[in-house]
Chain A
Amino acid sequence: MNTLNNFLFIALPYIAIVVFLVGNIYRYVSTQFTYSSLSAQFLEDKQGFWGTVPFHIGILMLFLGHLAIFLFPEATLAWNSNPVRLIIHEGIAFTFGLTVLIALIGLMLRRLFNKRLRVVTSKMDIVIELLLLTQVILGCWIALGYRWGTSWFAADLTPYLWSIFQFDPQIQAVSALPLVIKLHIVGAFVIVLIFPFTRLVHFLVAPIHYLWRPYQVVIWYWDKQKIRKSSTAWTSHRPQNN
């Protein structure tokens, strides 16, 4: 058991970090054009909107929430020391978890039943979506079944994670945690490990500057006259809008 814990909580995180760094740099340098996510038709606003938008809001908030507790454990404990604030904190965190769970299931069903999406779905897309789904289910389970996670994360997991980055891994506490929590932690390392080989890389090249850049005028660079000729532009369907 000790050997397994050593592997999962010492070796695995270091392997994951090294593969993450090397893999991302290698992919970005060698095949930069693929360094994004193949379109999942995310501008499709009937089904896609209800999955894509809540999913991305939820997953970003969960990521930032975990990051904040990792970076500011003392502030987290201070905030949670007031019972009302603790309950609000947990309620909001669980809300985002549940939102991600529902939206992700919706997105996966859409990927399953939408023929256009199935064409552009790779095996790695399925792997990462199943892994994310497992992580979210485990996270919701932990939030409900091992309360109050935001506090003991700051007290126990933050020191463990910092010990990894300080090259002095202290795994006594994490080794003694319940299996569900261990699985959640290991799942997180596995996501970091396979990150460079998945569509998740778009997270690192997200066009954040779109939020404040000036509007762009988009003009079709087509020969409209040619398109209007049904014999040349469309062979099977006569266009309706000429």
Chain B
Amino acid sequence: MAGYTETKRVSLLGLLVTLLCMIPISPGYAALPGEQNFQQHCGICHTVGSGKLVGPDLAGVNERRSQEWLETFVKSPQAMINSGDAEAVAIFAEFNQLPMPDPLLSAAQIKDVLSYIEDVSETLPNPTAAINPPAFSQPAIDQPIDTSVEIEDQVADVSTQATTEQINHGRDLFQGTVRFANEGPTCNSCHDVRNDAVIGGGILSKELTTVFSRMGGPGVRAILGRPPFPVMQSAYLDRALSEEEIVSLVAFLQYADQEQLNHQPRDYGIGLFSSGLVGTAILFGLCSFIWRGRKKGSVNQAIYDRQVKSISDAEFRARHS
């Protein structure tokens, strides 16, 4: 009987697992046309024919690489880099060793995206020659990428004209003394930057002291405007940064990059650990103090002690009588 019950339980659990695995995962995984997926997953860092942003210009990429290579790379760039693929490693090295996050697209969706890139590339005059102009060009951050537009050259280094107010505002936004208008989390929740005016930041994500020189103003702007990383995307979903906030943050990050040698790195790890030790000691001490009146022996300890004492007294009297 016990065996039967156990089998039944296991079967029910198995059925439950099977049913749950059959549930459609989320709308995010639903099939979408290649263009939409490109805009959502790729267009933040890549253009097709409008120059490089955070990642390379993808115009003509279908001719430069094999379809199989592209599909494998897009499916999991980090796995391909880790496998030691020479071309993947070269791209990784060329683009600031910033790993492209896995886009979590299905094989069919990846094919759709690649064919969309191919279609757009064919409309360009010279698709095989990817345009890699100075990085100071990008479409408006809050607009879908329009691959037909000419490179804007007026959005040069946003911080060359940065004012002290912008830098200070960016610093305050970074560490949260001024909240973002849409109440998104502060940058230092996850990122650190070497600057004496800012408390030690988080270390969940990249250290940002040299991000400006590594990625350039437009690259930083692009990431702040439409974060390509899933963790950052989730954090700022429905809490996008305003244009003014982005400009201030870029100004501060450029300043932090330029001034880094005059500032000391801060590591709160040891401090946090030490404070935890001290706090724990205090907590144990408080427990000891609050429950100082607790009965430390057994329930009958007092009775036992009294008895022993009376026996001792009796023996003492017997000896001295």
Interface residues of A (CB under 8 A from B): 1-2, 6-7, 10-11, 14-15, 18-19, 45-46, 49-50, 53-54, 57-58, 74, 77-78, 80-83, 86-87, 90-92, 94-99, 102, 143-149, 151-152, 154-156, 159-160, 163, 168-173, 175-178, 240-241
Q: Is B316 an interface residue (CB 8 A)?
A: no
- Within the complex, the shortest CB–CB distance from A207 to chain B, in Å, comes to 18
Please determine whether B291 and A155 come into contact, CB atoms closer than 8 angstroms: no
CA A235 to CA B177, docked complex, whole Å: 74
Interface residues of B in 269-291 (CB under 8 A from A): 269, 272-273, 275-277, 279-280, 282-284, 287, 291
Q: Is B319 an interface residue (CB 8 A)?
A: no
Considering the complex of A and B, which 4 residue pairs feature the smallest CB-CB distances, nearest first? A95-B279, A151-B189, A173-B234, A81-B176
Q: Which of chain B's residues has its CB closest to A88's CB?
A: B275
Q: Which of chain B's residues has its CB closest to A84's CB?
A: B199
Chain A residues contacting B291 (CB-CB under 8 Å) are 49, 53
Q: Is B92 an interface residue (CB 8 A)?
A: no
Q: Which of chain B's residues has its CB closest to A163's CB?
A: B26
Q: Is B296 an interface residue (CB 8 A)?
A: yes
Please determine whether B303 and A241 come into contact, CB atoms closer than 8 angstroms: yes
Contact among B16, B186, B199 with A87 in the assembled complex (CB-CB below 8 Å): B199
Please determine whether A152 and B283 come into contact, CB atoms closer than 8 angstroms: no
Q: Which of chain B's residues has its CB closest to A97's CB?
A: B276
Contact among B21, B26, B277 with A11 in the assembled complex (CB-CB below 8 Å): B21
Please determine whether B190 and A152 come into contact, CB atoms closer than 8 angstroms: yes
Please determine whether A146 and B204 come into contact, CB atoms closer than 8 angstroms: yes
CA A15 to CA B21, docked complex, whole Å: 10
Q: Is B101 an interface residue (CB 8 A)?
A: yes
Please determine whether B186 and A168 come into contact, CB atoms closer than 8 angstroms: no
Q: A87-B199, A152-B190, A169-B25 given. 20 additional CB < 8 A pairs?
A: A1-B79, A6-B21, A15-B17, A45-B295, A53-B291, A82-B177, A91-B279, A94-B275, A97-B276, A99-B284, A144-B269, A147-B272, A148-B190, A159-B234, A171-B26, A172-B104, A173-B234, A175-B104, A175-B230, A176-B229
CA A91 to CA B283, docked complex, whole Å: 13
Please determine whether B304 and A240 come into contact, CB atoms closer than 8 angstroms: yes
Interface residues of B (CB under 8 A from A): 13, 16-17, 20-21, 23, 25-28, 76, 79, 101-102, 104, 175-177, 179, 183-186, 188-190, 199-204, 229-231, 233-235, 237, 268-269, 272-273, 275-277, 279-280, 282-284, 287, 291, 294-297, 300, 303-304, 306-308
Please determine whether B17 and A95 come into contact, CB atoms closer than 8 angstroms: no
Please determine whether B234 and A156 come into contact, CB atoms closer than 8 angstroms: yes
- Within the complex, the shortest CB–CB distance from B273 to chain A, in Å, comes to 6
Given A90-B272, A148-B188, A148-B189, the answer on whether A240 and B284 have CB atoms closer than 8 Å is no
Given A83-B176, A176-B101, the answer on whether A147 and B231 have CB atoms closer than 8 Å is no
Please determine whether B199 and A54 come into contact, CB atoms closer than 8 angstroms: no
What are 22 A-B pairs with beta-carbon distances under 8 A?
A15-B13, A45-B295, A49-B291, A57-B287, A80-B189, A86-B176, A87-B199, A94-B279, A99-B280, A144-B269, A145-B269, A147-B203, A147-B272, A148-B189, A148-B201, A148-B202, A152-B189, A173-B235, A175-B230, A176-B102, A241-B303, A241-B306
Please determine whether B280 and A159 come into contact, CB atoms closer than 8 angstroms: no
Chain B residues contacting A154 (CB-CB under 8 Å) are 185
Contact among A7, A78, A95 with B179 in the assembled complex (CB-CB below 8 Å): A78
CA A71 to CA B162, docked complex, whole Å: 39
Chain B residues contacting A178 (CB-CB under 8 Å) are 204
Please determine whether A91 and B26 come into contact, CB atoms closer than 8 angstroms: no
Q: Which of chain B's residues has its CB closest to A103's CB?
A: B284
Chain B residues contacting A45 (CB-CB under 8 Å) are 294-297
CA A71 to CA B206, docked complex, whole Å: 28
CA A90 to CA B189, docked complex, whole Å: 11
- Within the complex, the shortest CB–CB distance from A89 to chain B, in Å, comes to 11
CA A46 to CA B27, docked complex, whole Å: 57
Please determine whether A152 and B202 come into contact, CB atoms closer than 8 angstroms: yes
